[in-house]
Amino acid sequence: MHMNIALLRGDGIGPEIVDSAVEVLKKVGEQYGHTFTFTPYLAGGCAIDETGVPLPEETVAGCKASDSVLLGAVGGPKWDTLPGHLRPERALLGMRSALGLYTNLRPAKLYPALKEACPLRAETVEKGFDLVMIRELTGGIYFGERGRRQGENGEEAFDTECYSEMEIERIARVGFETAMKRGKKLISIDKANVLESSRLWREVVHRVAAEYPEVTLSDMLVDNAAMQLVRDPAQFDVVVTSNMFGDILSDESSQITGSIGMLPSASLGSS
């Protein structure tokens, strides 16, 4: 098998991580008879320095023409004072939207070699945990209407959380299909006691659940989920949640394994 892989080396530690991943892929190719063509493109702070924008059109076109994209971290203090539309992180949002990458998968498993690095209590560590966090990646507050305006107390800033039935349904199906391949247990995380977007989220997830009678579905509020991840992570198998909640909880779930840098993460579309 031959694959064309776009390399977005990013900023800071990003190039070091991507270069190491390339060496691993080369070894995989040698072992299993695969070959790879690696093509670098600019994204993030390095793209701003060279082209003036965080995500050049050339990068988008190159990624669309590739079989896969290997992405490093973007951003850093150097670019923190730039306006929002020129921040390095806009490259991530733009790439997810351009490639239709609406699913983020982040497994979090406590490996024996990292047990000593786990920050949780010893009795919790001994139980171990193995979960998959599924985050909706192209909707919600990160992609909603945003801006600034004058209010009665001066300047205001706003970011809008908005989800359609279609967006919720397709990520819910990813959650249920993943659960079917594992322990047939799915926890949907929302804030339905406060947010209207979460109430629609819960309605749609429960509607999709009727198509997966073998999967046990339960709901959990996001604040409780944050606590439960450090109290008893072994209770989780597959988790599905929105963009912002998933951003926070997936980092928490990976950190309790002992190192956020040791875990894989994949952003996927429908093809």
Q: How far is residue 180 from each of residues 48, 51, 123, 170, 174, measured CA to CA in Å?
A: 43, 45, 29, 15, 10
Let me know whether 228 and 206 are in one domain.
yes
Per-residue pLDDT averaged across 196-220, rounded?
98
Which residues, 6+ apart, have CB-to-CB distance to 83 below 8 Å? none
Whether 159 is catalytic: no
Identify the pLDDT of residue 271: 65
pLDDT by residue (tens digit) across 76-127? 999 999 998 899 999 999 999 999 999 999 999 998 888 888 999 999 999 9
Quote the radius of gyration of the chain (alpha carbons, Å).
Answer: 20
Let me know whether 82 and 139 are in one domain.
no
CA distance 29 to 55: 30
**Of 191, 212, 219, 237, which is the active-site residue?**
191
Whole-model pTM: value is 0.90
Q: How far is residue 63 from each of residues 43, 56, 68, 216, 243, measured CA to CA in Å?
A: 11, 11, 7, 38, 22
Let me know whether 129 and 89 are in one domain.
no
Q: How many domains does the chain have?
A: 2
Let me know whether 158 and 62 are in one domain.
no
Candidates 42, 41, 38, 60; CA nearest to 52 is: 42
Identify the pLDDT of residue 259: 78
**Of 41, 102, 142, 163, which is the active-site residue?**
142
CA distance 267 to 99: 10
Domain finish residue from 99, 133, 148: 99
Range of weakest confidence among 52-56, 92-96, 244-248, 256-260: 256-260
Residue 179 near residue 237 (C-beta atoms within 8 A):
yes
Residue 245 near residue 134 (C-beta atoms within 8 A):
no
**Of 49, 80, 223, 232, which is the active-site residue?**
223
Could you list the residue range(s) of the whole structural domain that residue 270 is in?
101-271
Let me know whether 32 and 134 are in one domain.
no
Let me know whether 105 and 78 are in one domain.
no
pLDDT grade for 263, boundaries at 50, 70 and 90:
confident
Residue 192 near residue 198 (C-beta atoms within 8 A):
yes
Domain finish residue from 99, 126, 142: 99
Whether 219 is catalytic: no
What's the whole-number average pLDDT of the chain? 95
CA distance 134 to 267: 10
Let me know whether 89 and 134 are in one domain.
no
36: three-class secondary structure by DSSP: strand
Identify the pLDDT of residue 218: 98
pLDDT grade for 268, boundaries at 50, 70 and 90:
very high
Tokens of 66: 């590739």
Identify the pLDDT of residue 258: 86
CATH of the domain at 234: 3.40.718.10
Let me know whether 174 and 120 are in one domain.
yes
Whether 115 is catalytic: no
Whether 223 is catalytic: yes
Let me know whether 107 and 227 are in one domain.
yes
Let me know whether 47 and 122 are in one domain.
no
Let me know whether 13 and 140 are in one domain.
no
Per-residue pLDDT averaged across 252-264, rounded?
84
259: three-class secondary structure by DSSP: coil
Question: Cα(first)–Cα(last) distance of the chain, in Å?
Answer: 18
Whether 247 is catalytic: yes
Residue 130 near residue 253 (C-beta atoms within 8 A):
no
Domain finish residue from 43, 68, 99: 99
Per-residue pLDDT averaged across 191-219, rounded?
98
Let me know whether 95 and 107 are in one domain.
no
DSSP 181-250: TTTSEEEEEE-TTT-HHHHHHHHHHHHHHTT-TTSEEEEEEHHHHHHHHHH-GGG-SEEEE-HHHHHHHH
